[in-house]
Amino acid sequence: MKTFWLSWLFVTSVWAMPEWPREVNGQACGHEPRELVQKFQGSNLKKMSVAYYDTADLELQALAVTIRLRVKEDAGEITVKWRAETLPTETTEGAECEVDVYRGRALSACSWNLEISRAQAVALMTGKSPSVRDLLSKEQKDVIARLAGPVTGAWRRFGPVQVERWDIASGARGKKWRLERWIVGRDQTLLSEVSFSEKKASDIAELRSALDGHFLKAAVKRCEQDEPKTSMVLRYFSESAP
């Protein structure tokens, strides 16, 4: 009995959800972009470009590591993100951490961010700057070395994706309710997603229920499965690569 109790305690401590803020996400299916903006009362449209970096075989993704570049309207940003079902908190020093909540699962996510100038970000996105590695901070390089040391392959860019983001009417919980449309190719919608933030480490089931209620109120159909945007972008550009 004592052995069983200790084993149960170990498993519980490993799989316990961290007391981090929540980011709750749900993807919409079967609706035109304009229809979603109307149904969710979208306003204050902002645009940005996003790309990811990985090896041709997606070795970084296999280790739950993501390198992301954003070109915003007034700045640029490079992010090293580590996302998995569980993350040892002792290895997340210096990171901004949250729990990403999807339908059916929740993933711990920690990000090490570096703000760069918009000009630098544009140069990277357009291939005029030699390598995103050159602009990484020392902290980011150390994190990559620690989490993805075995990866020696050359990085390539997966993107860009054009992102349209609207503020939308708030739901029953949380803040920063948003609708995002991720666009690839010639105005092809890769995904449409609604999200909101909860600063408290609230119950996951209650947050999912709040998002479901918002979809229902807007008469918008949710996709059967939610998938992290990173995975969808990497798959799209992997499959469309020459």
Ordered by start, the domain boundaries in the chain are 21-240
Q: So what's the pLDDT on residue 16?
A: 67
Q: What pLDDT shows up at residue 201?
A: 86
pLDDT of residue 1: 35
Distance of alpha carbon 54 from alpha carbon 117, whole angstroms = 22
The Cα 60–Cα 221 span in angstroms is: 33
> Token match 């990277």: residue?
124
Q: What is the mean pLDDT of each run of 10 residues along the chain (242 residues)?
A: 32 60 97 97 97 96 97 97 87 93 93 97 90 94 93 94 96 93 96 96 93 97 94 94 70
Pull the structure tokens for residue 58: 């997606």
Question: What pLDDT, on the 0 to 100 scale, is given for residue 132?
Answer: 94
CATH topology assigned to domain 21-240 = Hypothetical Protein Pfu-838710-001 (2.40.320)
- Alpha helices, H only, 16-137: 33-39, 59-62, 118-125
* Rounded CA separation 212/179 (Å): 14
d(CA 80, CA 135): 12
* Cβ neighbour number for residue 133 with a 10 Å cutoff: 14
Amino acid letter for position 57:
D
Judged on CB neighbours under 10 Å (0-12, 13-18, 19+), 198 is buried
pLDDT at residue 199, rounded to an integer: 92
Global confidence as pTM: 0.90
> Which pLDDT value is given to residue 242?
67
What is the model's pLDDT at position 88? 81
